[in-house]
Amino acid sequence: MALANVWMLIAAAAVVLIALAIGLILGLRRGGRLRGGDSARIARAERLRTLPTFRRALARRALALSGILALGATATIVAGVVAARPMSAQTIQPVNTSRDIMLCLDVSGSMTEVDVEVLNVFDELLDGFEGERIGLTIFNSSPVQIFPLTDDYDFIREHLASMTKSFDYVDQIPEHWVGTLNGDGASLIGDGLAACAMGFDRPDDERSRSVIFATDNEINGASIVTLQEAAAYAASKDVRVFALNPVQGKDAAVSAELTAAAEATGGAAFGLRDTTTVSDIVSQVQEQEATELRGEAQVVWTDTPNLWIALLSVFLLAFVVVLWRVRL
Give me the mean pLDDT over the 127-154 stretch.
88
Task: Select the more confidently predicted residue: 165 or 19.
Answer: 165
Query: If you average pLDDT over every residue of the chain, what do you get?
Result: 79
The lowest-confidence range among 91-105, 132-146, 203-217 is 91-105
Q: Give the other-Cβ count within 10 Å of 235's Cβ.
A: 17
Global pTM value? 0.58
Query: Tell me, what's the pLDDT at 267?
Result: 87
Geometric angle at alpha carbon 142, from 239 and 286, rounded to 5°: 30
Query: Tell me, what's the pLDDT at 261?
Result: 92
The correct answer on CATH 3.40.390.10 for the domain covering 95-294 is no
Q: Give the other-Cβ count within 10 Å of 95's Cβ.
A: 12
Task: Select the more confidently predicted residue: 150 or 46.
Answer: 150
The 10s digit of each residue's pLDDT in 145-157 is 999 999 899 999 9
Give me the mean pLDDT over the 44-51 stretch.
65
pLDDT above 90 as % of the chain: 20
Task: Select the more confidently predicted residue: 92 or 211.
Answer: 211
Continuous segment of H or E residues that includes residue 75: helix 52-83
Whether pLDDT at 292 is above 50: no
Class of residue 324 by CB neighbours under 10 A (exposed 0-12, middle 13-18, buried 19+): exposed
Whether pLDDT at 291 is above 60: no
| Spans of all domains in the chain | 2-36+47-91+298-326, 95-294
Continuous segment of H or E residues that includes residue 101: strand 99-106
Closest CA to 138 of 163, 162, 161, 117: 163
The 10s digit of each residue's pLDDT in 185-194 is 788 889 999 9
Beta bridge partners of 102: 135, 211
Give me the mean pLDDT over the 160-179 stretch.
89
Continuous segment of H or E residues that includes residue 6: helix 6-33
